[in-house]
Amino acid sequence: MADDAILTSIPIQWLSTDEPKLPDHILDWLMEVGSMTCRFEQYCQTVSVAPFRECFITAEELGDESEHLPLNQKYWLRETILYGDNIPWLLGRTVVPEETLTGPDRKLVNVGTVPLGRYLFSSNNLTRDYIQIGQQGERWGRRSLLRLSGKPLLLTEVFLPESPAYKMNKTKGEK
């Protein structure tokens, strides 16, 4: 399953930088450079993750993701649903080249129900090369090429309809 069909048959249409302007409140979420997990925690009591697919895949199974990652024999794939107070808010797909899974970063294959952001953003060795915005039907998403200790991984995130990204509401602590 290529990342342009994350959990649905509707492909993600990746936008160029000169595409039509998005509403500011959605763009703010899409361009978040920090941990999406931390951002979501401002809108709920509990953020949780349910992995539904974790396995190694081959380069042939990547689809257009192969254009963003170095060629490897295998890639670690993790597909999840992130929940805020048990409401599905985000679909996530992480593709990690096998060469990235060395040393302490080998732990990526065992994060289980821990939100990826908690693992990645606890490291001082994380950088982001870019964020690309896309649309999947009525849903907005993004993909980012991240580097952990200089080694690449591709993260695709699609905001589900109940996500606070679509609402201009206040955080849980505001009145």
Start-to-end Cα distance in the chain: 43
Residue 168 assigned as binding residue: no
Which residue is associated with the tokens 């963003």? 68
DSSP labels, 15-37: PPTTSPPPPHHHHHHHT--S-HH
Angle ∠(121,125,131) on CA atoms, nearest 5: 65
| Alpha-carbon radius of gyration of the chain | 16
Which of 170, 5, 4, 162 is closest to 87 using CA atoms?
162
Residue 36 assigned as binding residue: yes
d(CA 126, CA 21) in angstroms, rounded, equals: 29
Return binding residues: 36, 78, 116, 157
- Binding-site annotation, residues for substrate: 36, 78, 116, 157
